[in-house]
């Protein structure tokens, strides 16, 4: 006789090839059986808990394959300066001043989410603007993209940024073109600021932000995330360990490691895949940016860095947004794989796939925002997974329509083209750049529509591109994320042997208008066979 289940979820709708399947049995942390109600009730025991799903849809838990956990947590305690909240430099100053008036002198005031394109001056605020809010507090204001920060005068002093401070490698200290004084605007300096300023949140504030974030993630059915910080190292790893031990962050975490932090991780015996199913070391993260006006790192250096990362036993995740960056990333990866194949330098196996040598686990490109058809063949040959953010089409689509050249618009976030070419996709939010709400991304991946219902993939003479199917979008937000992590062997599906990371959603999106998807909520979220979120209805 089969062992009794700990949990049985029955009377559900499942997206499986078996039309009779409507129930799931769970034992411990794993799914042990999927089938019809009568079949699964054969596993009922005296202590089995049962959940009547009432015909609602059971899905594998969502995997947000690229986000920034501590940045997300900060949005629940900082000053919200996003375009939905502030529309002028004056209102931004007012919001920060209001918080400063309630904050003891000398303590940091932190704000987030501004977008200069949504402000009346169409310019970044400067230290002078933030000084109008307060001169008694250091102020840090983070751009919604995460790639720019503004400090007030007191903040610059604490950071030690003076007129003669040189630009850190890969970053830019913006300066007045006449006086040479720092304007307070800093580009790509998150790692630098972390080192010179340290933590600016109290333990209580930090814990409160993470707790609120956790509730938000669970309520949206996000059971796994990848923290994609490019400066992640041993200190961030220890922070995640502390969060797990304190039981304030329920979801599974794969932590990318900054390429420059690999040595310190290896020194502690931490490598790709170290950890367990709840907290593990993920890909090595490398930034390929055009912040200074040209690509950094340059092509030859990029090839060498990829080889160095692979030799250390890590797959690589390359931040590449612009077309030139995506092209360089793909070509450098192909060149590095050719060198490693000849020299047998890579420390993990190479397997033959479609006449291409592809490392296992898979390399990734993060974002791939601008991707013309000419790049698809090489992306396919490289064996890359694309971790992209269709939610940007939803939240930023109207701005794209107004400001992006029509030729570029035709291949901006080409989700359907990538999918049709057989290139593996994982979906993510890049939160806190946009909210970590999967259904916004699913909606735009399928419809191509923005928040205001405009077609982002068609403008003027540009022919509207076809979206992917709802099933494909759901797969990219579950199995696709596991595949990108290299964990698809034990999560991403509702099937026997997989981890019981399951969500129950209230409506059946297969039968509803896409607009209704935006109101979808999780009724129940389960991670490892434990209910971590339940909405009373």
pLDDT, one tens digit per residue, over 426-440 is 999 999 999 999 999
SS3 letters for 179-195? CCCEEEEEECCHHHHHH
With a cut of 60, say whether residue 358 has pLDDT above it.
Answer: no
Q: Coil, strand or helix: which one is 406? A: helix
Residues 6+ apart with CB under 8 A from 531: 524, 525
- List the one residue out of 485, 484, 452, 370 whose CA is nearest residue 418: 370
User: What are the φ and ψ backbone dihedral angles of 167, each rounded to 5 degrees?
Assistant: -65, 125
SS3 content of the chain, % helix, strand, coil (to 5): 35, 25, 40
With a cut of 80, say whether residue 470 has pLDDT above it.
Answer: yes
Q: How far is CA 202 from CA 60, 157, 198, 501, in A?
A: 36, 21, 11, 32
Strands 23-27 and 30-35: antiparallel
Q: Coil, strand or helix: which one is 349? A: coil
pTM to 2 decimal places: 0.88
Tens digits of residue pLDDT in 453-462: 999 876 544 4
- Report which listed range, 81-85, 97-101, 110-114, is most confident: 97-101
**DSSP secondary structure string for all residues of 24-69:** EEEETTEEEEEE-HHHHHTT--TT-EEEE-TTPEEEEPEEEEEE-H
Asked if residue 477 lies in contact with residue 66, where contact means CB atoms within 8 angstroms, the answer is no
Q: What angle do CA 196, 200, 204 make, to 5 degrees?
A: 150
Confidence of residue 536 (pLDDT cuts 50, 70, 90): low
Supply the DSSP symbol for 261: G
With a cut of 60, say whether residue 212 has pLDDT above it.
Answer: yes
Q: In whole angstroms, what is the distance from residue 116 CA to residue 528 CA?
A: 42
Confidence of residue 114 (pLDDT cuts 50, 70, 90): very high
- List the one residue out of 195, 199, 267 whose CA is nearest residue 239: 199
Give the helix ranges, DSSP H, for 345-497. 376-382, 391-403, 406-409, 415-420, 438-447, 470-476, 479-485
Mean pLDDT in residue range 6-26: 95
Mean pLDDT in residue range 350-362: 45
With a cut of 80, say whether residue 318 has pLDDT above it.
Answer: yes
With a cut of 90, say whether residue 374 has pLDDT above it.
Answer: yes
Asked if residue 172 lies in contact with residue 188, where contact means CB atoms within 8 angstroms, the answer is yes
pLDDT score for 357: 38
With a cut of 90, say whether residue 184 has pLDDT above it.
Answer: yes
pLDDT score for 408: 87
Q: What is the mean pLDDT of the chain?
A: 91
Asked if residue 261 lies in contact with residue 238, where contact means CB atoms within 8 angstroms, the answer is no
Tens digits of residue pLDDT in 164-176: 999 988 789 999 9
Tens digits of residue pLDDT in 116-168: 988 998 899 999 999 999 999 999 999 988 889 999 999 999 999 999 999 98
Q: In whole angstroms, what is the distance from residue 515 CA to residue 444 CA?
A: 10
pLDDT exceeding 70 applies to what percent of the chain? 94
Mean pLDDT in residue range 303-319: 95
Q: What angle do CA 268, 274, 279 make, to 5 degrees?
A: 110
Confidence of residue 267 (pLDDT cuts 50, 70, 90): very high
């Amino acid at each position: 006789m089969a062992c009794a289940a700990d949990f049985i979820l029955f009377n559900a709708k499942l997206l499986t090839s078996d039309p009779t399947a409507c129930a799931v049995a769970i034992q411990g942390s794993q799914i042990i059986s999927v089938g019809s109600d009568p079949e699964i009730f054969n596993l009922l025991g005296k202590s089995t808990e049962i959940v009547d799903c009432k015909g609602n849809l059971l899905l594998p838990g969502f995997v947000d394959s690229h986000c920034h956990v501590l940045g997300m947590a900060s949005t629940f305690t900082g000053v919200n300066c996003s375009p939905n909240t502030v529309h002028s430099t004056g209102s931004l100053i007012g919001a920060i001043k209001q918080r400063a008036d309630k904050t003891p002198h000398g303590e940091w005031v932190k704000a987030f989410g501004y977008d200069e394109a949504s402000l009346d001056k169409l310019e970044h605020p400067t230290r002078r603007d933030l000084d109008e809010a307060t001169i008694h507090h250091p102020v840090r204001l983070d751009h919604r993209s995460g790639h720019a920060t503004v400090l007030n005068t007191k903040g610059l002093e604490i950071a030690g940024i003076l007129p003669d401070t040189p630009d850190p490698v890969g970053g830019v200290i913006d300066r007045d073109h006449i006086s040479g004084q720092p304007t307070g605007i800093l580009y790509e300096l998150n790692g630098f600021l972390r080192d010179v300023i340290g933590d600016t949140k109290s333990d209580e504030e930090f814990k409160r932000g993470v707790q609120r974030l956790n509730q938000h993630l669970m309520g949206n059915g996000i059971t796994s995330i990848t923290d994609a910080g490019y400066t992640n190292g041993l200190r961030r790893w220890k922070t995640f360990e502390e969060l797990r031990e304190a039981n304030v962050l329920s979801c599974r975490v794969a932590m990318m490691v900054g390429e420059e932090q690999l040595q310190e991780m290896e020194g502690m015996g931490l490598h790709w895949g170290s950890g367990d199913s709840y907290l593990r070391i993920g890909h090595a993260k490398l930034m390929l940016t055009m912040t200074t006006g040209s690509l950094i790192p340059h092509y030859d250096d990029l090839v060498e860095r990829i080889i160095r990362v692979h030799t250390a036993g890590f797959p690589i995740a390359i931040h590449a947004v612009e077309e030139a960056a995506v092209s360089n990333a793909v070509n450098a990866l192909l060149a590095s794989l050719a060198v490693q194949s000849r020299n047998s330098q890579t420390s993990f196996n190479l397997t033959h796939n479609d006449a291409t040598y592809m490392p296992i686990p898979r390399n990734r490109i993060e974002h791939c925002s601008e991707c013309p058809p000419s790049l698809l063949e090489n992306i396919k040959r490289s064996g890359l997974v694309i971790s992209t953010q269709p939610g940007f089409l939803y939240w930023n689509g109207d701005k794209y329509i107004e400001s992006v050249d029509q030729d570029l618009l035709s291949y901006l976030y080409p989700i359907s083209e990538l999918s049709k070419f057989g290139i593996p996709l994982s979906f993510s939010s890049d939160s806190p750049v946009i909210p970590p709400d999967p259904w916004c991304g699913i909606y735009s991946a399928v419809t191509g529509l923005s928040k205001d219902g405009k077609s982002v993939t068609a403008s003027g003479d540009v022919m509207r591109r076809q979206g992917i199917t709802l099933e494909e979008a759901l797969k990219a937000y579950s199995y696709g994320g596991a595949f990108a992590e290299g964990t698809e062997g034990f999560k991403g599906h509702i099937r026997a042997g997989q981890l019981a990371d399951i969500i129950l959603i209230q409506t059946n999106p297969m039968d509803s208008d896409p607009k209704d998807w935006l109101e979808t909520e999780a009724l129940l979220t389960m991670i490892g066979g434990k209910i971590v979120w339940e909405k009373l209805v």
